[in-house]
Structures are given as C-alpha cells and as structure tokens.
C-alpha cells in the first residue's frame, strides 16, 4: 500500500487502540493508505512499533504510544498524543481487547470476568468519554467500536467475552444518541470468524469456523478494516448508532 493523499479519510487525525496486530493493524495501514494521520495504542510494544514502521514504509504518518486501555491515564495519553501531533481528533477506533476464555481453564471464573470486563468492556466506556470530550469542542467526529457476532448471541464457555461484546453495542447506541447533536457519530463493526494471529494458533478451530461459514472461509482483517475506514469517512455521514456485521453470512 502507498498513501493516497486524496483518500477516503485524507487529512483526518485518528487513534486506533489494539493497533499492534490483527484487525487493529489492518485498520491502521488502511487508514494511512487512505490519507489519515494515525496514533495507535497497544500494550504490545513490539507489535505497535512494527505497525508504525509498516505505516511509515507505506508513506503514511503513524505514531505509537504504549497503551493499556484498562488504565485511564494511558487512554488520556493516547488521545493527548494525537492532539499534540495533529491538532485535533477526527476519528477513533476502539479495538483493543483480550480473550482469556480461549483457555477452557479460565471459563466461568470470576477473576476472568473481572479482567475481561476491565479490558474489553469498561475500556470502551473510558475511551468514548475521552474521545468525545475532545470532539465536542470541534463540533464533530466519528468513532467505531469493535464488537462481534456474539454482540447479538450467546456462546457456550464465553460468558465474559459475550457480556463485554453486548456492552459494546449498548455503549455505541447510547453515545450515538446522546452526541448526535454535536455532529459526533458512533457506530460498531461486528466481525465473525476472522483470520488473525489468535486464530492461527488453533488450527482445529480455524478449520471448524471456516467450514461452518456459508462462504466456506474465514474473513480477512482487511475486509473488516474496509468497513471501519468507511465509517470514519464522510461517505458514511448519515450512519449513526449502527452495527455492521461482517461474517460472510454466518448470522443469516
């Protein structure tokens, strides 16, 4: 990819949490390809720095801040860095999350629920609050929360993950309604089975998810990123409080 100065989000300042791998990395790279300036956060320093390097190689502008989204001070630092570098915050992608319940030993454990609620649930609340506080004086912005197909259904053995992904949709809809008057749009993208490094670690799961899909394959992180970038762009200017499911037809 090479940066397109006339792209979908040309000139926009955007932050992306969990930008060190998977959907987050794909989103950062597509954003810079479409002309945005990005600050990405991730708790994984090596992954975050690699994403920033790849963005620079593509001719884009991307900074990295080590960010633990469970810590309010880290979220503040991420938002403040974007504003310091680019003067404003036009968009945000709240993507960071963990899946401790991929380990069966961690399922239905209170400690698991507490940690995942902190990282996958409360962090979206924290990020939204800080992002919106920056966007209100600007009279505009677009935010995308990353949900899941289990934002709308249950999943055996995944109580904490499912609860947090349901919460992401509730927060999305509430913020969309409350801040529409400020020209701030808040939407969600809800992926199904996507080929990410986490999925690559479990070949049996990878094969099973692909076989269960009507299209007979897993999705690519770039296919999710395309929807995210569109929602951040002015092309989606009347889309607000919506959740786009990207799952190859699985939930149909």
- Which residues are bridge partners to 94 per DSSP? 145
- Looking at residue 55, which CATH number applies to its domain? 3.40.50.720
- For position 202, what pLDDT does the model report? 80
pTM (2 d.p.): 0.96
Q: Tell me if 236 is assigned to some domain.
A: yes
Complete edge-to-edge strand list for the sheet that includes strand 37-42:
61-66, 37-42, 13-17, 91-94, 141-146, 184-191, 243-246
* 8 A C-beta contact, residue 127 and residue 39: no
Question: Residue 86's closest CA among 34, 137, 25, 38?
Answer: 38
161 is catalytic: yes
pLDDT in tens, 102-135: 899 999 999 999 999 999 999 999 999 999 999 9
pLDDT exceeds cutoff 60 at 37: yes
Residue range 60-78: mean pLDDT, rounded: 98
pLDDT band at 243 (very low <50, low <70, confident <90, very high): very high
Q: If 0-12 CB within 10 Å is exposed, 13-18 middle and 19+ buried, where does residue 34 land?
A: buried
CB 145 within 8 A of CB 190: no
Catalytic residue among 113, 161, 179, 230: 161
pLDDT band at 3, cuts 50/70/90? Answer: low
For residue 219, the model assigns a pLDDT of 96
Six token digits for residue 63 = 């900074």
For the segment 156-164, the average pLDDT, to the nearest whole number, is 97
> Would 176 be classed as within a structural domain?
yes
Burial state string for 113-145 with b = 16 or more CB within 10 A and e = fewer than 16: bebbbbbbbbbbebbbebbbebbeeeeebbbbb
Residue 252: inside a domain, yes or no? no
- Tell me if 218 is assigned to some domain: yes
* Residue 8 belongs to some domain of the structure: no
Q: Which carries the bigger pLDDT value, residue 143 or residue 197?
A: 143
Asked whether residue 79 is assigned to any structural domain, the reply reads yes
Evaluate whether residue 6 is within a structural domain: no
How confident is the model at residue 199, as a pLDDT? 78
Q: What is residue 2's predicted lDDT score, i.e. its pLDDT?
A: 57
- What integer best gives the mean pLDDT of the chain? 96
Question: Predicted confidence band at 146 (pLDDT cuts at 50, 70, 90)?
Answer: very high
| Measured distance CA(205)–CA(193) in Å, rounded | 10
- The number of domains in the chain is 1
pLDDT at position 246? 98
In a domain, 3, yes or no: no
């Amino acid at each position: 990819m090479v940066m397109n100065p006339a792209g979908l989000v040309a000139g926009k300042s955007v932050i992306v949490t969990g930008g060190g791998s998977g959907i987050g990395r794909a989103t950062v790279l597509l954003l810079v390809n479409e002309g945005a300036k990005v600050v990405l956060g991730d708790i994984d320093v090596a992954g975050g720095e690699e994403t920033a390097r790849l963005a620079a190689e593509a001719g884009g502008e991307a900074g990295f801040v080590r960010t633990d989204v469970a810590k309010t001070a880290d979220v503040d630092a991420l938002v403040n860095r974007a504003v310091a570098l680019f003067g404003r915050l036009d968009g945000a992608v709240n993507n960071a999350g963990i899946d401790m319940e991929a380990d069966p030993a961690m399922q239905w454990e209170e400690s698991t629920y507490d940690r995942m609620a902190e990282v996958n649930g409360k962090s979206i609340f924290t990020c939204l609050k800080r992002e919106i506080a920056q966007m209100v004086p600007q009279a505009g912005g677009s935010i995308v929360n990353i949900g899941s197909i289990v934002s709308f259904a249950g999943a055996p053995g995944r109580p904490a993950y499912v609860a947090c992904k349901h919460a992401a949709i509730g927060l999305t809809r509430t913020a969309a309604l409350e801040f529409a008057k400020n020209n701030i749009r808040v939407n969600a993208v809800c992926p199904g089975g996507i080929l990410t490094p986490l999925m690559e670690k479990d070949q049996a799961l990878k094969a099973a998810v692909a076989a269960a899909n009507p299209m007979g394959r897993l999705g690519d992180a770039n296919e999710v990123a395309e929807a995210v970038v569109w929602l951040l762009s002015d092309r989606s200017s009347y889309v607000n409080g919506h959740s786009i499911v990207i799952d190859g037809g699985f939930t149909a």
